[in-house]
Structure 1
Amino acid sequence: MLKKIFLFLIVEMVSLPLLLSGGAGAFPNFLFAGFDSLNMSFVGNWPFGASNYLEIDSSRNLLFAGSGGGVYIVDVSVPSNPTIISEKIHARDYIGKLFYQSSTQRLYIANDQGGLEIWDISNPSSPAKLGEYFTSGYSAHLYVSGSYAYVTTLYPHGLCIIDVSDPANPQQTGFFSTSNSPYGVYVVGNYAYICIYEGFYIVDVSDPANPQQAGFLSLSGYYLFDIKVVGDYAFVNTIGSISSSGLLIINISQPSSPSLVSFCSIFEAHGVDIKGTYAYVVSGQLYNWATLHIVDISEPTNPQIVVSYEIPTGTLFAHGMDVCVSTTYAYVSCDWLGVHIIDITTPTNPQEIGAFDGNTPQCGQNVFISDSYAYLADGEGGLRIIDISDLSNPEEIGFYNPPCYVYDVYVSDSFAYTCACALGLRIVNISDPSNPQEIGAYDPLGDARSVCVSDGLAYVALGSLGLHILNVADPSNPQVIGSCGSPGYAVDVFIVDSIAYLACEGGGLRIIDITDPTQPQEVGSCATTYAVDVYVSGSYAYVADGSGGLRIIDVSVPSNPYIVGTYSVSGSQVNDVYVVDSFAIIAVDWKGVYIINVSTPANPQRVGYYSPPYITLGISASKPYIYATDRLTGLQIYKSDLLVGIDEFILKSVNQKPRLEIYPNPFSEKTEIRYIIQKGRLTVNGKRSTVSLKIYDATGRLIKDFSRFTNYDGRTTSIVWDGTDDSGCKLPVGVYFCRLEYGKRVITEKIVYLR
């Protein structure tokens, strides 16, 4: 949650005429419950990322380890050998906090835009989602007491009290507004204790429908984050500057007048737990090792650090994110270095005895879809192989981890060509996806950022070294056969026939003739702001240009490319682009996935979007699905109503009711209207009926008649409409209705016409 606290939701209400006018700012940023937006919907995800929040079921030796937007269930009965027994908990957003209720064996998840989720863990190997509640703001932390979940939210700031007595149908019963951003919450008896920026609330929740402030303590300069309550004291960790980061101890014996007892300085204190007379505080930030601080709190007015134990993560830095303490062990989450298990039998002499850190997911960069698998380039998390045969429930089945950052992957035949940063190109045999094995490598001491494979040759974007061309006919022994330097930093490559298109940070789009791969020659270039990705379709190159937005470049004459259109996104970076038919799908930083209608290249318009869990980095698509990588939550899968392919249309129509589909929709130049009527459905009272297909405007006036007699059952009928009426005149932009009639049946679909 710390990584997302500065994000907020702006809801724009615009009229239909403004919406239909197009342009970068015309489409409203609606965030509906469940994230769905116009023309796009959530399908499934593999949301795992860096380790974050923890909970423990001591009686069953189970650890619940938050990982990005997922939760691993780990058997820790043998602490030296923790074993993941389930990765089936896939939350909708980044996990802000976990709470495990042992009496019901339920796990509660606060997951940002995803609100509150409730999971049944009675069978740890097969957890089941019981219910969810979408809070009005971003859910931050939570605590469960009795039949109520207490969830702190941002925008609006406050405490949301939710009745979870029926987990399948949780309902909000009350809300308490706070003066600033709330995070940690802890409930004892009739009081909820809430941490906010520069303050501490005590709230009377004896009537959950009407929570009332009982007390408040102003703490200027302190960013209160997490909390535990024991007896008359609240133990609160604070984050921020060196002088204000650490452990606060607050006397709460008088709820109306809480008072600060003491402060123990610990830089970047992120999590706290209490056992006996010790507080366990985890800290760590960039360029520091995660550290477990064990603090003697036997005298609350004078807490003393008895030991600061650096988590043994080798030479690598990691954030200390959370700590959870059982009888003899402290479990510490260390961001992308996983969870470490520390023996605290002797608090003054902690010792690590186990960890699961060798395959912790980290940062979804790019994804390649092949058959029923998604190959995820996961940064420091290596290459993840995800089975997507069930799109609603993807599962990881294989993992390859080179000792370097993985930026990109391209799959050809039985090999995954993996760009591993300073380690160059690594070639991995994936004939058995559950057991990928590196078989070859090319390490030119460059920064391997992107790869494309065609006709036995691998084209690698190598940062400052430009483009290298490798013969990979023998994948175990790749050989460089040609290279072409380029200005700027080569970060992406796309191949079409005998041309390589190279996106270069600081160098724009470079066009390279590869007719003779041993002697590639640059033949053209086009300056852009900060080119990071390129996709070529037809006569156009679509460049993800960072802060420059989406650039559409005419490359029909390779020696003279020029920009014909730009789609700008104010305040955000365009990180990736993928083109399907007349749509460019772009990854727009923290704004998510945008679908841009590029049927008129000079006037690209947004026609769909989906709000992301955090930051969208990579895009791939296979109609009608979009696969998006997220910096914190792995792989997200969406479906777009705009990307319906003809094969899917026919498949869905077989043995089903008649279907009417319009694609693309919205449209600007032309759209295809398709329908299938199965055998026997054209017969009424023994007579064959005609088919009527007509288009009406929003007032009900007939403006186009496509009526015709259909001579064959079960086959697709396709009609193209160019936005004109029966007299051939262009119609104004707006909403129209397509009406299909046959026999006594009628199907109507809405069409949105843009220009």
Structure 2
Amino acid sequence: MDRSFIAALLVLVTALAPASPADSLNCRLAGNWPFGPTMAVACDPARNLVFLGAGGGVYVLNVADPTEPALLSEGIRTAGRVKDMVHTGNRLYSASGGLYIHNTESPGNPVQLGELSSPRDASGLAVAGNRVYVTDTRFGLRVVDVSDPARPEEVGSIQLPGSTLGVALSADANHAFIASDTAGFRVVDVSDPADPVELGYYLAPGSVREVSGRDNLAFLACDDSALVILDISDPASPVVVSRTMIPDTPLGVHADGHLVYVANHRDGFRVFDCTDPAGPELVGHYDTPWQCYDIRVHGSLIYIADWGCGLQVYEGPVGIAEEPESGRLRGLDLYPNPAAGRVAVRLGSAGPGAQALLLYDASGRYRARWTLTGGRGEFDLRALGAGVYYLRTEQHDTAVGARLVIAR
């Protein structure tokens, strides 16, 4: 056998080996699809799909069994390296040179609906209704109307200093939060999409590479090895709440409930409990085999775009912030609770369709997948041991969940 092939195989096996205890905390490798290079990841939890952005296209993977992700399609082609993606409904939006729009109703055969070129290079995306907010590295922010996805149309734009790399939106979609590299963090009023106006900014000690938002907080991945949390209750005057030093170079950040996940390049990823934003607590870490560029989360499953090692799937801490002395969170009701043989679940203001309901044990390990129909369901608990469990689903693109106690 060729020695160069053996050497390459040994490198790959070493790279994919599980991290040692010193390189991990409360996280473990669940599965992988080790083909890259990849820089972006998005997911559709309701259909067990993960979209993995690569050089010149997107892979569509089935992760119903997270231990063995399976390729469904590699038919999505783009002009350049995919730097960001958002999946909502049956549409996938990709930033790859320009903006690409694909219909994923048939995940094994995605169909391109439209595209829009960029002045320089599309780098970040956020979506609200029929508008897509696109950052262009040397241009700024563009607001694109996708009411007709075959003919996406720019309806407004604003030039911003620095290299605009990432974007997030406020809950009401009236403000865009921009990661603007050496020009820091910028806040733009987009309530009038035809006339975006910059309101305020924060100049970080290092370059701001990515941003995520939750409530009145913005979470910044800064390349001077820091996670910065800002109070943006007054968008015109962001205020630093905390600055947490992290090894290596944070490239991505994703807020999910009270947990914040940081894609930390050669250091893998880190998970912080930000219940108290003034004092983030490290609750999870895993040193991934290559370079962690992007991160998305559903329940206790963490999906990583890990450059040359493709998609890596991990089990980590469950991101459910409970209401004290309650089995209810943001509209998910359980009865009875504690329960023994069966439990009834109701999701407030749910639509008529089916929704996935995921069950995790107290350690955050995935245990079962159930289905709510019209926001309701009744489930058999007899195969589960006594203890504390967590149920999780999504409502209007927001994670909701509750604690379930099984008593015998």
| Shorter-normalised TM range | 0.7 to 0.9
Distance of 2:43 and 2:210 partners within structure 1? 17
SS at match of 2:109: coil
1:467 deviates by 0.4
- Shift of residue 638 of structure 1? 0.6
User: How many residue pairs are counted as aligned between the two chains?
Assistant: 329
Distance change (3 Å), C-alpha of 1:677 and 1:662: closer
Match of 1:382 in 2: 57
Q: Map residues 459-608 of structure 1 onto 2, 5 A cutoff.
A: 459-496=133-170, 497=172, 498-528=174-204, 529-570=206-247, 572-608=248-284
For residues 315-326 of structure 1, what are the structure 2 equivalents within 5 Å? none
Instruction: Tell me the SS of whatever aligns to 2:122.
Output: coil
CA contact (8 A) 2:283 2:317 kept: no
| 649 and 434 in structure 1: CA distance in 2 versus 1, 3 angstrom threshold | closer
Q: Which amino acid aligns with 2:406?
A: I
Q: TM-score, normalised by structure 2?
A: 0.75
Q: 1:377 Cα deviation (Å)?
A: 1.2
1:442 Cα offset (Å): 0.8
CA distance in 2, matches of 1:568, 1:439: 42
1:659 corresponds, among 387, 391, 400, to: 387
Corresponding residue for residue 28 of structure 2: 41
Contact 1:660 1:673 in 2 (8 A): no
Shift of 1:414: 2.1
Give yes or no for contact 1:428–1:439 (8 Å, CA) kept in 2: yes
Structure 1 residues 599-678: aligned runs within 5 Å:
599-643=275-319, 648-649=359-360, 654-655=381-382, 656-660=384-388, 676-678=405-407
Tell me how far apart the structure 1 counterparts of residues 86 and 237 of structure 2 sit (CA, whole Å): 29
Asked if structure 1 preserves the Cα contact closer than 8 Å seen for 2:134 and 2:143, the reply is yes
Q: 2:109 aligns with which of 412, 417, 435?
A: 435
2:87 equivalent among 388, 391, 411:
411
Distance 1:633 1:397 in 2: 18
Aligned to 2:125: 451
Report deviation, 1:473. Answer: 0.4
TM-superposed CA distance for 1:630, in Å, is: 0.5
Cα distance in structure 2, aligned partners of 1:407 and 1:674 = 36
Q: Distance in 2 between matches of 1:453 and 1:539?
A: 19
CA deviations over 1:309-354 (Å, ceiling 9, x no partner): xxxxxxxxxxxxxxxxxxxxxxxxxxxxxxxxxxxxxxxxxxxxxx
Q: State the shift of 1:411 in Å.
A: 1.4
Task: Tell me the amino acid that sits aligned with residue 405 of structure 2.
Answer: I
Deviation at 1:413, TM superposition (A): 2.2
Residue equivalent to 2:345: none
Q: Matched residues in 2 for 1:542 and 1:42: separation?
A: 26
Tell me how far apart the structure 2 counterparts of residues 649 and 548 of structure 1 sit (CA, whole Å).
Answer: 32
Aligned-residue offset at 1:381:
4.5
How many percent of aligned residue pairs carry the same amino acid?
26
Quick one: distance in 2 between partners of 1:419 and 1:673?
35
How much has 1:600 moved relative to structure 2? 2.0
Q: 1:610 to 1:548 in 2, by over 3 A?
A: closer
Whole-Å separation in 1 of the counterparts to 2:312 and 2:65: 13
CA distance in 2, matches of 1:456, 1:675: 37
Distance 2:128 2:140 in 1: 18
Going from structure 1 to structure 2, the CA distance change for 1:649 and 1:617 (only over 3 Å counts) comes to closer
Confirm or deny: 8 A CA contact 1:368 1:376 kept in the other structure. Answer: yes
Larger radius of gyration: 1
Q: Secondary structure at 1:365's aligned position in 2?
A: strand
The structure 1 segments of at least 4 consecutive aligned residues displaced by more than 4 Å after TM superposition are: 644-647, 649-653, 672-675
SS of aligned partner of 2:359: helix
CA distance in 1 between partners of 2:99 and 2:386 (Å) = 50
**Structure number with higher relative contact order (C-alpha < 8 Å, ≥ 6 residues apart):** 2
After superposition, residues 113-132 of structure 1 pair within 5 angstroms as none
Tell me how far apart the structure 2 counterparts of residues 471 and 644 of structure 1 sit (CA, whole Å): 34
Number of the residue aligned with 1:373: 49
CA apart distance, 1:677: 3.3
SS in 2 for 1:522: strand
Deviation at 1:641, TM superposition (A): 3.5
Cα distance in 2 between the residues matched to 1:553 and 1:375: 30
Counting only pairs closer than 5 Å after superposition, residues 9-408 of structure 1 correspond to structure 2 as 31-32=20-21, 37-49=24-36, 363-370=37-44, 371=46, 372-378=48-54, 380-399=55-74, 400-408=76-84
CA distance in 2, matches of 1:364, 1:636: 11
Unpaired stretches in structure 1, ≥5 consecutive residues: 10-29, 50-362, 664-671, 682-755
Asked whether the equivalents of residues 530 and 548 of structure 1 are also in contact (C-alpha less than 8 Å), the reply is no
Return the offset for 1:619.
0.6
Tell me, in whole angstroms, the C-alpha distance in 1 between the residues paired with 2:404 and 2:64: 28
Larger mean CA deviation between 584-593 and 35-44 belongs to 35-44
**Is there any run of 5+ residues in structure 2 with no aligned partner, and where?**
1-6, 322-328, 330-357, 362-366, 369-379, 392-400
| CA shift for structure 1 position 376 | 1.0
8 Å CA contact 2:115–2:152 kept in 1: the answer is: yes
Give the partner amino acid of 2:61. I
Instruction: Judge conservation of contact 1:469–1:480 (CA < 8 Å) in 2.
Output: yes
How far off is 1:554 after superposition? 0.8
Flag the 1:41–1:425 CA change in 2: closer, same or farther, 3 A: same
Cross-structure match for 2:332 = none
| Structure 1 residues 36 and 469: CA distance shift in structure 2, 3 A | same
Structure 2 counterpart of 1:559, one-letter code? A
Amino acid at match of 1:31: S
Q: Summarize the Cα distance change of 1:594–1:643 in structure 2 as closer, same or farther, 3 Å threshold.
A: same
CA distance in 2, matches of 1:643, 1:543: 19
Task: Give, in angstroms, the shift of residue 574 of structure 1.
Answer: 0.3
CA 1:441 to 1:634, structure 2 compared with 1: closer, same or farther past 3 Å? same
- Partner amino acid for 2:89? D
Contact 2:119 2:136 in 1 (8 A): no
Q: Which amino acid aligns with 1:390?
A: D
